[in-house]
Amino acid sequence: MTYLIQVPIDIDFSLERISAVLKTLENPQDKLPPIVHVAGTNGKGSTIAFLRAVLEGEGYTVHGYTSPHMIRVNERINIAGTDISDDLLDTYIQRVRAAVNGFELSYFEELTVAAFLAFSEHPADFCLIEVGLGGRLDATNVVYPDLGIITSISYDHQNYLGETITEIAAEKAGIIKTNAPVVCAHQKYPEARDLISDKSKAMGGGAISPPTLPRAVSLGLLGEHQYDNAATAIKAAEILLGENGDRFHSHLSKARWPGRLQKLFEDHDIWVDGAHNEGGIEVLLKELQKWTIDENPIVLAVSQLSNRSEELLYPLFEITDEIYHIDMGQGNRFRGKPARAKKTLSLKEALSYFMQPEYNSSRILFTGSLYMVGEILNIREIINGNIE
């Protein structure tokens, strides 16, 4: 891969820079297939995975722009079912940089423009675009979608989006456009649901709530919370295709989204989950409570970005038998309640450590950081010989 990540400029929410560059490139965002724009705190990627599975199961081709990537940056730009190649990504990045003309784009803005160029020059039936952060001033919010989706909203990125759920929801609802319908997933906080509903009505589109999905339906992603994400995707597919969603249920088992309650190896009970905020930890806790029924020891291997509170993880600590801190070089060594963490391990040390015979009867879970999960998946690919 020859595309080198530039040092990004500080986050400075504004659509002016990206709009100017897109204009220089003749506005490729206006030449995309029908767009579904997805915002929310948790469940965005899983909802897109379910919607992609349905649309492709029905014979349609789908572009997808998602973030973050787990192993390779190419994962973010999926052209009609295939991650963008190194050569093609390089080509589009160079075109973007040639068009900047004095503007300094962030890493995410640069990739977003590259994605729009790629999608505008390759045919597909639909284009699924995930918001990076927030919604109102996110770089992706220069598109005019045929359908908006807002997934579950909870506390995250308060330093950018606001301290209250109402403030955060207002930023997410910034993707709502005039006369475009919005599918609003189940919301824990009524004030988030009401704000989305009111804004959508005011914009002439209307917010649509998905019905409950029967638990007999087989899903390709694990976790009780995925039924809400799958139901949201089914309702979106109904709107896009104009058909009853019951016939789409069979496609949901084909959804794939790495790093979300995923088992790493067939021969070892080692799992990863990218939960790193309040909503993600809540749904993960429910799954861990199910694990306790088996009475096998649960071992938690956790890491966090240094700007996140370790208190988010405390509910998980209460129902696990052992805790380990995974040092990712990000400066967060537990300071408070989790003093009972047995030791600190590097990531490579940890994988070998938990494959020892003494852990054969334990279930190991790595969580707390999407960055760590991505590194684990990369190591697994190396172990399996899929990448060098």
Domains and CATH numbers, the chain: 16-254 (3.40.1190.10), 262-383 (3.90.190.20)
Alpha helices in 37-175 (DSSP H): 44-57, 86-99, 107-120, 158-161, 165-172
Q: For the chain, give me the number of helices (H) and strands (E)? A: 12, 14
Per-residue pLDDT of the chain (388 residues; tens, 9 = 90+): 445 445 445 556 789 999 999 999 999 999 999 999 999 999 999 999 999 999 999 999 999 999 999 999 999 999 999 999 999 999 999 999 999 988 889 999 999 999 999 999 999 999 999 999 999 999 999 999 999 999 999 988 787 799 999 999 999 999 999 999 999 999 999 999 999 999 999 999 989 999 999 999 999 999 999 999 999 999 999 999 999 999 999 999 999 999 989 999 988 999 999 888 888 899 999 999 999 998 899 999 998 755 566 788 889 999 999 999 898 876 555 655 555 677 889 998 998 999 999 999 999 999 988 889 999 999 888 777 664 4
Check residue 7 and give its pLDDT: 42
The helix (run of H) or strand (run of E) holding residue 370 is helix 370-383
Distance of CA 271 to CAs 45, 162, 366, 367, Å?
Answer: 19, 33, 6, 9
Task: Tell me 42's DSSP state.
Answer: B
Residues 6+ away with beta carbon under 8 Å from 26: none
Answer whether 83's CB lies under 8 Å from 75's CB: yes
Cα distances (angstroms) measured from residue 285 to each of 25, 273, 289: 46, 11, 6
Distance in Å from the first CA to the final CA of the chain: 12
User: How distant, in Å, are the alpha carbons of 237, 281, 306, 315, 382 from that of 310?
Assistant: 38, 12, 9, 10, 30
pLDDT at 103: 80
CA dist 36 and 144 (Å) reads 9
Residues in the chain: 388
| pLDDT tens per residue, range 225-270 | 999 999 999 999 999 999 999 999 999 999 999 998 999 998 899 9
Phi, psi of 323 (to 5 degrees): -130, 135
Tell me whether residue 209 is exposed, middle or buried, using C-beta atoms within 10 angstroms of its C-beta: 0 to 12, 13 to 18, 19 or more: middle
Token duo for residue 261: 């309650």
Collapsed DSSP state (helix, strand, coil) of residue 295: coil
Q: How far apart are CA 19 and CA 16, in angstroms?
A: 5
Query: Smallest Cα–Cα separation from 72: which of 385, 377, 384?
Result: 377
